[in-house]
Structure 1
Amino acid sequence: MKIEEKCKSRFQALLQDNKDISVSQKDSLWEEIRSHYSEPHRTYHSLNHLYQMLGEFDSVSKELQDPEIALFALFYHDLIYDVTSKTNEEESAKIAKDRLSELGISQERIEICIEHILATKSHRLGDKCHPDTSFFLDIDISILGSEESKYYKYAKNIRKEYSIFSSEDYQKGRIQVLNHFIENIRLFHTDFFFDEYEMRSRHNVKLEIHSLQKGELI
């Protein structure tokens, strides 16, 4: 089964208990997600990203208080992705709120979904965050703990998404983002992901910073 088909299957499984939604409505909701994540400028934040996150989600789903809402957040968190915008997360959260409201999901649960999505802006937790947000953020950055060859491909794909920026501007901005991660005591909030990926993630991130400083990976 192809990645697109697997993502579609997982998304539509979220809707199967809602008897008030027609097949055409289910298809329309998926098509909105598919079309956004298939935009030509997305070389990393694509359906591949969702698929990779789904694999990590399955590893910890039993630890979540509301895995269904976490899955909705997963599918909508990068729905809007414009490298020149500073409001991608807010716009994605707004669409998620509208769609989940249309599905009849309670306002309380919708707010949890919004919290998950907005937290990806800084990847830092608030004082009173939902317990599942910690897992959601870790799932989102789990790619950092990949083997070096996969991480290198990830880094190259991020650069392609920012191809409108000069090498100098990208180098400066990317190093700032990477330093934002490693300046924290822990990259990963949960013990599961910390044990699984912390050391390798720090190794990968430091390698990328070093490469950027030498003028490589750009």
Structure 2
Amino acid sequence: MNTEEECKARFQTLLEGYQGITQPKKDSLWEEVKNRYTESHRSYHNLNHLYQMLKEYDLVFPKWKDPEVALFALFYHDLIYDVTSKTNEEESAKIAEKRLSELAITQNRIGICVGHILATKSHRLGENCHPDTSYFLDIDISILGSEESKYIEYAKNIRKEYSIYSDEDYKKGRTQVLNHFIENVRLFHTDSFFDRYEMQSRHNIKNEIHSLQKGELI
């Protein structure tokens, strides 16, 4: 299966057994997800991003306390993505909340899903967050720890998403974002991801910051 087919299969399998789920309903919910993640302005936050997260999700599957809720959060966390907006996470969470309510998922579990999504705004853990949120945040940024060539591709795709901004403005904003990450004692909250990706992530980020400080795009 290609990336889209794999994402569709995982999403529709997730829906099985929930209230009111028919094949037309499955198709409708998937079309909403697919149409959002294939918007023309997305170069990184697209179906490839979901597919990458799915692979990381599977690697730590035994760790999830509520794997289904984590998977719902995975598919909905970047549903709304507008580089000029400061409320992407809130809007994505609102749609997730509505869709999960339609499936008659309990309010407690919906709250966990919303918590995962909202946490991606700062990528820091709040008080009393669900144990799965740590893993969810880590799979979301696992790309940072990829091999150098893949990281460069990721960085270039992020630049494409921010193409409405001048190089000067982008370099300034991107440097701030990267410093936000690098200033943390740990980039990854869980030992599983820390051990696997922390060193390479810091290497990649420092290289990109160095390039930006020289006035160059990676």
In the TM superposition, what is the alpha-carbon distance from 1:18 to its structure 2 partner?
2.2
Name the residue aligned to 1:6.
6
The RMSD of aligned alpha carbons is 0.8
Q: Say how many residue pairs are matched.
A: 218
CA distance in 2, matches of 1:98, 1:163: 32
TM-score of the superposition, structure 1-length normalised? 0.99
**Secondary structure of residue in 2 paired with 1:12:** helix
Which 5+ residue runs of structure 2 have no aligned equivalent?
none
CA offset digits 1:95-151 (Å, max 9, x no partner): 000000001100000000000000000000012110000000000000000000000
**Secondary structure of residue in 1 paired with 2:60:** helix
Name the residue aligned to 1:172.
172
Name the residue aligned to 2:204.
204
In the TM superposition, what is the alpha-carbon distance from 1:50 to its structure 2 partner?
0.1
**Secondary structure of residue in 1 paired with 2:32:** helix
Report 1:77-96 matches (<5 A).
77-96=77-96
Q: 2:123 matched to 1:123?
A: yes
Name the residue aligned to 1:114.
114
**Identity within the alignment, %:** 75
CA offset digits 1:72-116 (Å, max 9, x no partner): 000000000000000000000000000000011000000000000
CA distance in 2, matches of 1:77, 1:69: 12
Name the residue aligned to 2:52.
52
CA distance in 1, matches of 2:4, 2:215: 35
CA distance in 2, matches of 1:100, 1:79: 14
Q: 2:35 matched to 1:28?
A: no
In the TM superposition, what is the alpha-carbon distance from 1:19 to its structure 2 partner?
5.7
Name the residue aligned to 2:103.
103
Report 1:54-69 matches (<5 A).
54-69=54-69
**Secondary structure of residue in 2 paired with 1:94:** helix
TM-score of the superposition, structure 2-length normalised? 0.99
CA distance in 2, matches of 1:196, 1:98: 35
CA distance in 1, matches of 2:19, 2:158: 40
In the TM superposition, what is the alpha-carbon distance from 1:216 to its structure 2 partner?
2.0
In the TM superposition, what is the alpha-carbon distance from 1:215 to its structure 2 partner?
2.1
CA distance in 1, matches of 2:15, 2:131: 24
Amino acid at match of 2:142: S
CA distance in 2, matches of 1:49, 1:19: 28
CA distance in 1, matches of 2:87, 2:121: 9
Tell whether the 8 Å contact from 2:38 to 2:47 is kept in structure 1 after alignment. yes
CA distance in 1, matches of 2:207, 2:22: 49
In the TM superposition, what is the alpha-carbon distance from 1:33 to its structure 2 partner?
0.2
Amino acid at match of 1:68: E
In the TM superposition, what is the alpha-carbon distance from 1:52 to its structure 2 partner?
0.2
In the TM superposition, what is the alpha-carbon distance from 1:20 to its structure 2 partner?
2.5
Tell whether the 8 Å contact from 2:125 to 2:134 is kept in structure 1 after alignment. yes
In the TM superposition, what is the alpha-carbon distance from 1:180 to its structure 2 partner?
0.3
Tell whether the 8 Å contact from 2:96 to 2:114 is kept in structure 1 after alignment. yes
In the TM superposition, what is the alpha-carbon distance from 1:17 to its structure 2 partner?
1.8
Amino acid at match of 1:172: K
Name the residue aligned to 1:193.
193
CA distance in 1, matches of 2:22, 2:195: 43
Tell whether the 8 Å contact from 2:19 to 2:103 is kept in structure 1 after alignment. no
Runs of 4+ in 1 over 3 A off after TM superposition: none
